[in-house]
A and B are shown apart, each in its own frame.
Chain A
Amino acid sequence: MLRVEGASFEVKKGRKKLVILDDVSFSVKPGELVVITGPNGSGKSTLAKIIAGIETLSNGKIILNGQDISTKDCTERARMGIAYSLQAPVHFKGLTVRDLLQIASTSGETFCGENLAEVSGLLEKVGLDSGQYLDREINNSLSGGELKRIEIASVIARNAKLVIFDEPEAGIDIWSFNNLIKVFNEMRKNSPECAIVIISHQERIMKMANRILLLKDGKIAFDGPSGDAMKMMRDTQ
């Protein structure tokens, strides 16, 4: 499904070159759940943005279902079936939760009336009451946890083939965390071909994974079955 080959990402800082991702290669198969973990600043979000097309590779290739998509922009990648849930949700002035979820569930095609039932269902999945939230503006009048759940709902709405969640648990309380686990389990059951990548530090999420990638200083330090990874991380602690 997804293959990342020798991916590097560099930025210029003054006259120096900062290497943020250094020759990263891995792949994700259909139906797989892969967790990417690693210390803050190790490049996890950058990697996700490179796959979604928000940032551009300095070197390497991104291959989706056999096709090199390295030069495609994020609209094209979205339409090819990639969905990305941001670590830090974006604020909008004026756009409502309803607007965002409608855009997400119609994926750029023209709206064909209200798909209210679908949109409400999405909110309930992430534990938000649709009556209370649909017409709220997506701005800082919503709490961090609420914004995060709306962000996750917007990505579930896409019914994508490859879904990347960037620290979905951040800012979310225990009750919604259980809900979140349910959401992932449901996705796997309902779309067995869907590949899921979750950037996370949570043991419970890692336990669900088929494989775990450990990123350190922009390099892959470990790539293997979940059990081995957990054991290794316990040992190195």
Chain B
Amino acid sequence: MMDLDKIERDLMREVSGVTGIPEGAYNFRVNGKSIGRHSSDKIDIIPKRGKSGIDIRIANNTRGEIAHIPVIISASGLKEAVYNDFYIGDNCEVTIIAGCGIYNCGADDSIHDGIHTFYVGKNSTVYYIEKHCGIGPGAGKILNPTTKLFLSEGSRAELLMEQIKGVDSAKRLTEAELKKDAQVVIKERLFTHGKQLAESKIVANLLGDNSSVDIVSRAVARDYSVQDFSSHIIGKAKCWGHSECDAIIMDNARVNAEPALDAQNIDAELIHEAAIGKIANDQLMKLMTLGLSRRQAEAQIINGFLK
């Protein structure tokens, strides 16, 4: 595919599943430049002027289309802030596959700040999939994603955000504003190891009646890594909000979870659950009695948990 070397191609596949020119609209950003861009009949991708990023305009009634917008950084020391704005029309059902992979073999930190803003039209559904990973022996692989969602009446967004491995530092911010009958589902999967730091902050503003948010965060922190999770659900109407943060802590890691609820309407129904603990001993034992070593059993439990 294009002019990528093997490491870049592998990263591309890992974070976005892309192995060649995909069908439909796409924009491949590699080392700060677009190396391939394609608009489809209904999805228009336009580069921004004056700053990095693209506008993605999706026509009303676009259904079943997928847009791929992966980012790869393999030039050590590259620092960028990229603004991608999604304007999704009414009655759409579309999938956006983002994701960022950093390969760093040099002495300087590589940083990608991705600011994604979604304007979701009435009765539209958007699926957003974002995977992050870092590889290479070099300095920092730093990813700071911001995702902002503005949901019109009756619209729905489903986010799957994963940080697989190798990201030294991450500051994640996810914000959603929901009008009447709008829904957001946020699934977050964070794995940290070594001395990594990951911070995730999720804020949902439920403004309209019958709006709902469901946040499911699963995290594994091992070695000396530190994770900070906070969710903040604000209910200003007759609404439903649920936040669940479930973390496995290992070795000398630290996990801090702060779920917060703010009900400003008598018909706001808000729930949070948070649980942090080590891998359950009975789970380990069960897998060991099936012949797995302790390490293999741990790996299976963690893989399952983050799946």
> Which of B87-95, B132-140, B206-214, B297-305 is found at the contact surface with chain A?
B297-305
A-B contact list, 29 entries, CB within 8 Å: A54-B285, A75-B292, A75-B293, A75-B294, A78-B289, A78-B290, A78-B291, A79-B291, A83-B289, A90-B280, A93-B246, A93-B304, A94-B303, A94-B305, A94-B307, A95-B301, A99-B300, A100-B290, A103-B287, A103-B290, A103-B291, A103-B292, A103-B300, A104-B290, A104-B291, A107-B290, A108-B290, A108-B291, A108-B293
In the assembled complex, the Cα of A43 lies from the Cα of B291 at a distance in Å of 25
Q: B37 near A: Cβ within 8 Å?
A: no
**CB-defined contacts of A104 to chain B, threshold 8 Å:** 290-291
Q: A92-B304, A104-B291 are in contact. List 16 more A-B contacts (CB 8 A).
A: A73-B288, A74-B285, A74-B288, A75-B291, A82-B289, A83-B289, A86-B286, A90-B286, A93-B246, A94-B301, A94-B303, A94-B305, A96-B304, A99-B304, A108-B292, A158-B291
- List residues of A (88-122) whose CB comes within 8 Å of B's CBs: 90-96, 99-100, 103-104, 107-108
* Chain B count of residues within 8 A CB distance of the other chain: 23
Q: What chain A residues lie within 8 Å of B306 (beta carbons)?
A: 94
Q: Say whether, besides A75-B293, A75-B294, A108-B296, A94 and B288 are in contact (CB < 8 Å).
A: no
Q: Is A9 an interface residue (CB 8 A)?
A: no
Does chain B have a CB within 8 A of A8?
A: no
Nearest A-chain residue to B294, judged by Cβ = A75
Q: Is B290 within 8 A of A154, CB to CB?
A: yes
Within 8 A of B (CB), among A138-159: 154, 158
Distance in Å: Cβ of B280 to nearest Cβ of chain A: 8
Nearest CB to that of B286 among chain A residues?
A90
A62 smallest CB distance to B (angstroms): 14
User: In the assembled complex, which residues on chain B have CB atoms less than 8 Å from the CB atom of A108?
Assistant: 290-293, 296
Q: Is B282 an interface residue (CB 8 A)?
A: yes
Which of A73, A75, A82 has the largest count of B CB atoms less than 10 A from its CB? A75
Kindly state whether residue A84 has any CB partner on chain B within 8 Å: yes
Closest 8 CB pairs of A and B: A94-B304, A95-B304, A108-B291, A107-B291, A78-B291, A90-B286, A94-B305, A74-B288
Nearest A-chain residue to B302, judged by Cβ: A94
B296 near A95: Cβ-Cβ < 8 Å:
no
Q: Which residues of B contact A79 (CB under 8 A)?
A: 291
Interface size on A, residues (CB 8 A): 28
CA gap between A74 and B283 in the complex, in Å: 13
0/1 interface trace, chain A 27-70, chain B, CB 8 Å (1 if under): 00000000000000000000000001110000000000000000
Chain B, interface SS category: helix
A77 to B289, CA, bound (A): 8
Interchain CA distance A107-B291 in the complex, whole Å: 5
> How far does the alpha carbon of A107 sit from the alpha carbon of B300 in the complex, in Å?
13
| Cβ-neighbour of B282 out of A52, A73, A90 (below 8 A) | A90
B305 contacts which of A83, A93, A100 (Cβ < 8 Å)? A93
CB distance from B187 to the nearest CB of A (A): 12
CB distance from A162 to the nearest CB of B (A): 12
How does the 8 Å CB contact mask read for B50-75 relative to A, with 1 for contact and 0 for none? 00000000000000000000000000
Of B218, B288, B291, B301, which is within 8 A of A92 by CB? Answer: B301
What string of 1s and 0s marks CB contacts (under 8 Å) between B258-298 and chain A?
00000000000000000000001011011111111110100
B283 to chain A, nearest CB (A): 6
Q: Which residue of B lies closest to A95 (CB)?
A: B304
Contacts of B292 in A (CB 8 A): 75, 103, 108
Chain B nearest CB from A37 CB (Å) reads 22
Across-interface contacts of B246 in A (CB, < 8 A): 93
User: What is the minimal beta-carbon distance from A134 to any residue of chain B, in angstroms?
Assistant: 14
* A93-B301 Cα distance, complex, nearest whole Å: 8
Tell me the minimal C-beta distance from A163 to chain B in angstroms.
11
Kindly list chain A residues whose C-beta atoms are within 8 Å of the C-beta of B303. 94
Question: For residue A154, which residues in chain B have a CB less than 8 angstroms away from its CB?
Answer: 290
User: B296: shortest Cβ distance to chain A, in Å?
Assistant: 6
- What residues of A have a CB within 8 angstroms of the CB of B307 in the complex? 94
Q: Return B278 CB to nearest CB of chain A, in Å.
A: 13
Q: How far is the CB of A164 from chain B (nearest CB, A)?
A: 10
Cβ of A84: which chain B residues have Cβ within 8 Å of it? 289
- Give the most central of B283, B285, B300, B306: most A CB within 10 Å: B285
Q: Which of A52, A92, A93, A99 contacts B289 (CB 8 A)?
A: A52
Residues of B within 8 Å of A86, CB to CB, are 286
Task: List residues of chain A with CB within 8 A of the CB of B300.
Answer: 95, 99, 103
Compute how far the CA of A95 lies from the CA of B305 in the bound complex, rounded to whole angstroms.
7
| In the complex, chain B residues whose CB is within 8 Å of the CB of A96 | 304
* Chain B residues positioned under 8 Å from A95 (CB to CB): 300-301, 304
CB 8 Å contact bits of B208-244 with A (1 = contact, 0 = none): 0000000000100000000000000000000000000
